[in-house]
Amino acid sequence: MNRTKTAPAILQKPGRKFWKQILSQYGFEEVHHFELLGQACQCLDRIDTAQKVVEAEGSYFQDRFDQPKEHPGLKTERDNKILFARLVRELSLDVENATANRPTPLY
């Protein structure tokens, strides 16, 4: 069954929560599944951080030429949402694309 149940120390609250939820529902056995799950959890942490920064600083700012520019945190958020979706699909956790190599549910 699960060889490791401890979330990586680098994870913050959103990542740790997702880690625990997934491991409580699926039986990962392969090392690469844990690595992919850890990366997905880090994406959630980055998304959360970027959202907080953008919320505090605003979505746009004026550059040195007084032109509106998108906050860099929006790109970080967008990129990590895309990566998270790909990692979830790679782990076969998405409902629409369930495959035969999906981790075994524990229930």
Q: Write out pLDDT tens, residues 18-55.
A: 999 999 999 888 999 999 999 999 999 999 999 999 99
pLDDT at 2: 45
Q: Has residue 22 been placed in a domain?
A: yes
**87 pLDDT above the threshold of 80:** yes
Q: Has residue 74 been placed in a domain?
A: yes
pLDDT at 5: 74
Q: Has residue 11 been placed in a domain?
A: no
| Total count of domains within the chain | 1
Q: Has residue 34 been placed in a domain?
A: yes
- Distance CA(98)–CA(101), nearest Å, equals 8
Can you give the residue range of the structural domain that contains 47? 17-55+70-105
Q: Has residue 9 been placed in a domain?
A: no
Write out the two tokens for 68.
């509106």
Residues ≥6 apart with Cβ < 8 Å to 6: none
> What's the alpha-carbon Rg for the chain, to the nearest Å?
17
**72 pLDDT above the threshold of 60:** yes
Q: Has residue 100 been placed in a domain?
A: yes
Which of 1, 43, 35 shows the shortest CA–CA distance to 18? 43
